[in-house]
Structure 1
Amino acid sequence: MKILTNATALDSRGGYSVIHDFLYEISNKSNVLREKQIELTALVAKENLCKYETEQLKVIYEPYPKKSPIHKWKYENRILPSLIKANKFDFYLSLQNSGLPYLDIPQYVLIHQPIPFSDLKPKELELKNFIKYKVLLHSIYKRQLANVDGVFVQTSWMKEAIQRKYSYKKNIHIIRPAIQSIENNVSPLGSTHDKEFSRMETKLLYMTNREKYKNNAILIEAIQEWNAQNTNKVVLYLTLDGQSTEHIRYIGKIPYESIFKAYKSVDALIFPSLTETLGLPLLEAQEAGLPILAADLPYAREVCGSNAIYFNPRSKTAIMRSIGNFLKNRYARNPGQFHEKSILTSNDNYMDYIRIIHSHTDKYHGIAKTNEMLGGT
């Protein structure tokens, strides 16, 4: 059985972490591939990922689709289908949110981009992201999903959104790969971060980036207004580069090897993002026993359950109210206080993708054999 996995678009941030973790796990469990007589080929956009190649896992660096949108279109509509046919692959697995328009073999798709399923308004996205995700990717789903044999997602809210928005009737599998523990990620933060986190005021951390949907602007306004109205000041730390003020501190990226130490150095995580697949910092903060103030949206409710103070992320007043609620209660940093388990405890893994595809084998070949007997295709 031969499976082709495409991840040629995943070269940065969350997308890269998906293919990295996928290959890392598959490489370490290649004995499962051998036992099931599976040959897995992965197409990647980062050459360093080739180090995970094993006898059963072939990793191919393919930069062609990243050259331009035209190259990507040609690769997925001309080159890749020809490659699949020439190498007689049995199944196609896309880890990059969309499948291929025409295939004679079953295909599965991992959908981990939440923007097409969110209620984001045009002003809450950069124009390029609105066009890319709300227009183009939405159009692709309308045309392609009917030809996709199975979909993988990481959360229930994504599954329900796909079913609701596109009336998808085939199998949607919720696979929540276990998140790597960060308890040992306590390397020194460095003198700059140590000095920042030594402040006596209440410290709120937001692990963020510059995308509009991260909702940085309204959070900053809420913090500024809170501090203008209250003597109990709050310091907001943003993992961005920028010009700091007294209570809005731009601290840049925190090294991953120090991330657990960073969580332990602040009083709470605040997370006003307007959409996420699941929100990795929400999982990490729970592992660190850190209080959480989060957007009252499906992704956060599913990940945090009762482990957070929720607020309307589009309302400064609501954000300020949640800060006041937190300061009033001063939740103890104690994992034992949590009443619901985080999906951090998931027993799923990336090998489950392969197991599910493998379980399709008998059904697929049975149909193919019946069609052949009947003279069909």
Structure 2
Amino acid sequence: MTKRFLINASNLHVGGGVQVASSFLSEIAKSEARRTNLSFALSSEVESAVGGAAMLSNVSDDVVSLNVNGIDPWNVEALNFFAQFDCIFTVFGPLYRWNPPFKSIVGFAQPWIIYPRNEVYRTMPFLKRLRNRLKFWIQSQFFKRADCLVVELEHVKDGLVRELGVDPARIHVVHNCLSAIYRDETQWMDVAVPPSDGKLRLGFVGRNYAHKNTKIFPEIVSKLRECHDIEALFYVTFTEEEWQASSPAFQEACVNIGPLAPAQCPAFYRALDAVVFPSLLECFSATPLETMAMERPLFASDRPFNRDVCGKHATYFDPGSPTDAAHAIAAAFKDGAPNATAMRAAREHAFSFSTPEDRAQRYLALLSSDLDETQQDI
């Protein structure tokens, strides 16, 4: 009997998960070979991101619209649908099935699980901290049920072995990569970035989540002024609600551009003198790769998720010390413009780190060794 395989993106509704899934599916859609034993389950958000299920019609006749939200034991439609397959690749989990009747390959991208003693917890009220720990403990038990786990960087594999005791042989590292947009300037869109009146233009791309550690921006601006005689201004991309919730001191030190479409990000990076990425907790973030691709100096928190991506192509600082961050920034700019040769080397590193094509091939290879080899070229 022919085995049936499913690429499952039914549980992805926001953020980077939707972007990774849509990029993966776009690469598959380039294939000219039909895969009669390969099916797809797409959430509404993923389906919208790829321009509709018809985008995959040249690859498969079985593209299903399906929305799964968290632990949903009453979603009989999903349970019955999944039971048809011999192997399911859930792009990012967890997949909430305790004893799945199929081989389960699950993408893992939950830093709270592999860094359970992180400093962000210490800033939370007791009950919120307790709820979060319980939620991530439950998720970890389902991740452990997967036959294989797919991670984006080496530090994540190390964390799964260390914290969950997962056999390293069950963990596959498939690097994330730049969006294809960065390779095609014709797709770029303009964004209005107000002038800085001669101040150093520092930027940050992302939401204002606690673990992003953006609270140190006003202190970095103060330390640059007081200790290094450098005037600086931060440009951020918060929602209006996040901006209005920011303190007066934060709003004085920063300018809010608002959320950006992916195609606007290259123009935003180009308008900056440098990017500061002070995050405390990630599995992977695209911001460091994007910054290097746009040949902008990157100042990043000294954490494994940044070092795994950037290597020698970033300047690292202690994310708990605005003074250290300011010193790193000042040292880089004290002699004028950053080194053009170093910026070009960082760009080359970013583009060679991984590609959407490489990632798609690696994902497909994980589904099964007995997928028809003649159908794996995309």
Q: Which residue of 1 aligns with 2:232?
A: 234
Whether the 8 Å CA contact 1:197–1:265 is kept in 2: the answer is no
Distance of 2:265 and 2:32 partners within structure 1: 30
Q: Which residue of 2 aligns with 1:175?
A: 174
Q: Which residue of 1 aligns with 2:292?
A: 286
- Aligned-pair identity (%): 21
| Matched residue type, 1:60 | V
| Matched residue type, 2:112 | I
SS of residue paired to 1:98: coil
Taking the TM superposition and a 5 Å limit, the aligned residue runs for 1:82-121 are: 82-85=80-83, 87=84, 89-99=85-95, 100-118=97-115, 119-121=117-119
Larger Cα-atom Rg? 1
Distance of 1:343 and 1:276 partners within structure 2: 21
The verdict on how the C-alpha distance between 1:343 and 1:134 changes in structure 2, with shifts beyond 3 A counting, is farther
Deviations 1:64-109 (A, max 9, x none): x34xx66x2433xx55343333x3x110221232132112221100
Q: Aligned to 1:256, which of 262, 271, 276?
A: 262
Whether the 8 Å CA contact 1:283–1:344 is kept in 2: the answer is no
Shift of 1:154: 0.8
Q: Which residue of 1 aligns with 2:208?
A: 210
Shift of 1:349: 1.8
Whether the 8 Å CA contact 1:125–1:212 is kept in 2: the answer is no
Shift of 1:353: 1.6
Taking the TM superposition and a 5 Å limit, the aligned residue runs for 1:74-85 are: 74-75=74-75, 79-85=77-83
Deviations 1:197-245 (A, max 9, x none): 4632111111121210010112332223433454320111111243675
Distance of 1:29 and 1:361 partners within structure 2: 15
Q: Which residue of 1 aligns with 2:66?
A: 62
Whether the 8 Å CA contact 1:305–1:342 is kept in 2: the answer is no
Distance of 2:360 and 2:306 partners within structure 1: 23
Shift of 1:321: 1.8
SS of residue paired to 1:289: coil
Which has the higher relative contact order, 1 or 2, with Cα contacts under 8 A spaced 6 or more apart?
2
TM-score between both structures, scaled by the size of structure 2: 0.81
Whether the 8 Å CA contact 1:203–1:235 is kept in 2: the answer is yes
Deviations 1:314-360 (A, max 9, x none): 12222222222222254234433549834753252223222222216
Q: Which residue of 1 aligns with 2:134?
A: 135
SS of residue paired to 1:151: strand
Q: Which residue of 2 aligns with 1:332?
A: 339
Q: Which residue of 2 aligns with 1:12?
A: 14
**Structure 1 runs not aligned, ≥5 long:** 363-377
The verdict on how the C-alpha distance between 1:5 and 1:133 changes in structure 2, with shifts beyond 3 A counting, is farther
| Matched residue type, 1:96 | F
* RMSD (Å), alpha carbons: 2.9
The verdict on how the C-alpha distance between 1:148 and 1:294 changes in structure 2, with shifts beyond 3 A counting, is same
SS of residue paired to 1:303: helix
Q: Aligned to 1:222, which of 203, 220, 223?
A: 220
Q: How many equivalent residue pairs? A: 346
Taking the TM superposition and a 5 Å limit, the aligned residue runs for 1:266-277 are: 266-277=272-283
